[in-house]
Amino acid sequence: MVVRFWGVRGSIPCADSKYMRYGGDTSCVSVEAKGQLIIFDAGSGIRKAGLHALATGYQESHLFLSHVHIDHILGYPFYGPIWKKGHKLSVYADHLKPYGGLQRTIFKAFEEPIFPVPMSKLSATVAYHDIESGQTISFDETLMVKSAPLNHPNGATGYRVQYGKSSVCYITDTEHLSDGVDPNIVNLIRGTDLLIYDSSYTDDEYVAKVSWGHSTWQEGVKLCKAADVKQLCIFHHDPDHKDDVMDSIAREAKESWPNTIVAKQDLAVTFTK
């Protein structure tokens, strides 16, 4: 199982020389296992994920959206496989039934005059699935994606890819609870090999951003301890966190939880089944 980071930034893409080492594209992470391409979120990073999919020859892919705030879907029309006839894409998301469902939401987000080509005109075959957080999507008996609700404005969903005994969890965007760890998250991530966690702020920064729907790397450490997580990945970097700030966060986080990595664009992590 290979985890690839195509976009690691939150809120808005950052195109500046001071963001080069960690990357400026917004959220997109892929997991490749058993011949399947599973993608989480369609931020600006999904463009490169699409190039990888085309170069690798994938005829099918699966896109799981944490939610549809703009930084997590803005790259969707630039995911190359949707313009390739014969490709099959399945898109999954929760919390959108009050707005007419996932397909209607995506179609409205990218209609004229915002985007010149209607989403109904894509070359690929695209299926949109409105799921319920807590639902499991099974590819077979050894590969599945589990889900759980997150604490974020308009709702969000966290995911766990389970492939045999290996697993990786994608938990963004979410705001931690004030009175302890979120049981929905703990139950989803328990014992996972890698927790990719919304670490937009430090604890000091969070004081001024309560109720914004995001968390801190310190809260990620608490989750790792509570759920026996093997490795923490700091993710969804604040656009104000340039490379030097991220270096400082990396040092401090590793002192607190040694088995911590900081997500960087183009990073790949491999797990055995």
Chain Cα centroid distance, residue 40? 4
For each of the domains in the chain, give its residue range(s) and CATH number, in order of start: 2-270 (3.60.15.10)
**Of 49, 11, 15, which Cα lies nearest the Cα of 29?**
49
pLDDT at residue number 272: 80
- The dihedral built from the CA positions of residue 219, 259, 265 and 17, taken in this order, carries a sign that is positive
Q: What is the DSSP letter of 214?
A: -
Give me the residues of the chain with pLDDT under 70, please. Answer: 273
Q: Could you tell me which residues come within 8 angstroms of residue 194 by beta carbon, excluding any fewer than 6 positions away?
A: 3, 167, 168, 169, 229, 230, 231, 233, 269, 271
Q: d(Cα 249, Cα 225) in Å, to the nearest integer?
A: 19
Q: Which amino acid is at 236?
A: H
Could you tell me the CA-to-CA distances from 48 to 69, 117, 147, 212 in Å, in that order?
A: 20, 20, 25, 29
Helices (H), 163-216: 183-189, 203-206
pLDDT at residue number 206: 94
pTM summary value: 0.97
